[in-house]
Amino acid sequence: MVEMRLWNPHVKLIEDGNVSTSSHDTSNPAGKKKDDLHTMKSVVAALETIAIMLCCGVFLMLLLLCALSRGSSLMNEEKAVAPVLPPDGIFSEFMIFSEKNSRKYGSKDEVTKRLDAYKSHSERIETWKVSKEHGNVEYGHNDLSDWTDEEFENSLMSKSFYQRLRKNEFLKPVPESLAQMKGEAGAPFPDYFDWRDRNVVTPVKAQGKCGSCWAFASTATVEAAWAIAHGEKRNLSEQTLLDCDLDDNACDGGDEDKAFRFIHRNGLAYAADLPYVAHRQETCRVSSNWNTTKIKAAYSLHQDEESIINWLVNFGPVNIGMAVIQPMRAYKGGVFTPSAEACKNEVIGLHALLITGYGTSKDGEKYWIVKNSWGDTWGVENGYIYFARGINACGIEDEPIGILA
């Protein structure tokens, strides 16, 4: 609201309190001045109303302008916005953000809400950049930057939900015959390995404002395992799990054990046949004559770095769960090493993801290469995070799952 007002010079005049002298003839008789002032106040009030109504229009026009002149949008915005910018320039930054992420806010209240969320998130990013509490990590904005904290937390799974639900029924302990292997052809494990180099990993998707990470992580695991086993990359449908897996709770969370059991029994439809809509639909449209993609087995791996690497190198990407702390939302590079303190006291929810590889940074920091489901503007390399390896940071090595398709 305040920022919006700064857009209009008329409104600014009122705030400055010099309306009466700026637009009127000073030679008027003194007695008339009071009336004039009164009339003027009404005029000003009317102007203010019009100005506020115009704000939305101006904002939309600017968005339109931006859209029309993609290449030089920054220049145009600066010209249009410069004279009335708040000192910190957050509004123009926000405008650029909205254009870049194709935002269409429905109302002035919505603009205000999103600007507020963006602004407070920006302020936090600045403190994270300075503190370096979670490793030598870069932070910045992404598609999630105008979400409120509540929206972000709702897209994660609550700790209590997960603990209540967790019970392995389908997942089996990894058979000894599969656990005894070493690197390819008996060689030691390589220093660096990533399934993305072998063209079996599908692009990162976006779960949106829906607590469906469990569906995205399990589907990503199946997509990779299928490509490794059958040499064909399939874009599979998370929505199958939201609509049809009634043992899990769609946007209110779910559990990989039940998800993999469902996929084993019923399979996943193609994404093209059942696209993602980020909520549970009334009916499960998958019928018996649809082609679905099933898996053979899912194993809970040993909870240690070696076992995860073993499965990764020999069989495929590894499904994992972890606790999330707020700074992860703005991760933009480096090896994210959440502090033990934060993983204990600042957890805002749980999340499921997929390890596609591992390596070691120039500074000797060991990392997992992790595929997320927060869209391709988040993290590095279109949706990935380099996450500390071997120290079970925020529980990342607690629940590794490997599957065979």
Ligand X SMILES: *[C@@H]1O[C@H](CO)[C@@H](O)[C@H](O)[C@H]1NC(C)=O
Answer for which of 271, 322, 328, 385 binds ligand X (CB under 6 A) is 271
Which of 173, 181, 179, 226 has its CA nearest to residue 202?
226
Residue 372: active-site member: yes
Min separation Cβ 21 and ligand X, Å: 59
287 near ligand X, judged by CB under 6 A: no
275 near ligand X, judged by CB under 6 A: yes
291 near ligand X, judged by CB under 6 A: yes
Residue 319: active-site member: no
203 near ligand X, judged by CB under 6 A: yes
Among 83-91, 177-185, 271-279, 349-357, the segment contacting ligand X (CB under 6 A)? 271-279
Residue 66: active-site member: no
Per-residue binding string, ligand X, 222-261, x by CB under 6 A, is: -------------x--------------------------
The nearer residue to ligand X, 26 or 291, going by C-beta atoms, is 291
201 near ligand X, judged by CB under 6 A: no
301 near ligand X, judged by CB under 6 A: no
- Number of residues lying near ligand X (CB under 6 A): 7
Catalytic residue chosen out of the listed positions 213, 244, 343, 394: 213
324 near ligand X, judged by CB under 6 A: no
The nearer residue to ligand X, 175 or 275, going by C-beta atoms, is 275
Min separation Cβ 290 and ligand X, Å: 7
The nearer residue to ligand X, 272 or 340, going by C-beta atoms, is 272
Q: Which residues bind ligand X (CB under 6 A)?
A: 202-203, 235, 271, 275-276, 291
Tell me the catalytic residues. Answer: 213, 351, 372
